[in-house]
Amino acid sequence: DVQLQASGGGLVQAGGSLRLSCAASGFTFDDYAIAWFRQAPGKEREGVACISSATRATFYGDSVKGRFAISRDTAENTVHLQMNSLKPEDTAVYYCAADPGVCSDYLGQRYWGRGTQVTVSS
């Protein structure tokens, strides 16, 4: 079976840091781009960050550039999202997703994880 298990969310004060992890199984991890999306109450789901398969290129949403960093640990079949300088507007449920090949913000990603809650207090 295919699994994408997101973890690492929690409650943090503005200016603090969290590290999210997405553990993958049931598919060929290195053939897929892995992306993080988030959705806050009353808002549309948006792309946060992505790391591609072939080139290992990384992409970030404008609102998180310079604050977040995505990385792949191929030995562990895991993608991490290091989130620094967190702001209240980062509060959302964060989902990891997988799609073959290159990164995209397409919401029709092949596989989705169940999400982890991030709450940033002011």
**pLDDT tens digit string along 60-118?**
999 999 999 999 998 899 999 999 999 999 999 999 999 998 898 788 899 999 999 99
Closest of 10, 72, 85 to residue 36, by C-alpha:
72
Which DSSP state fits 37?
A: E
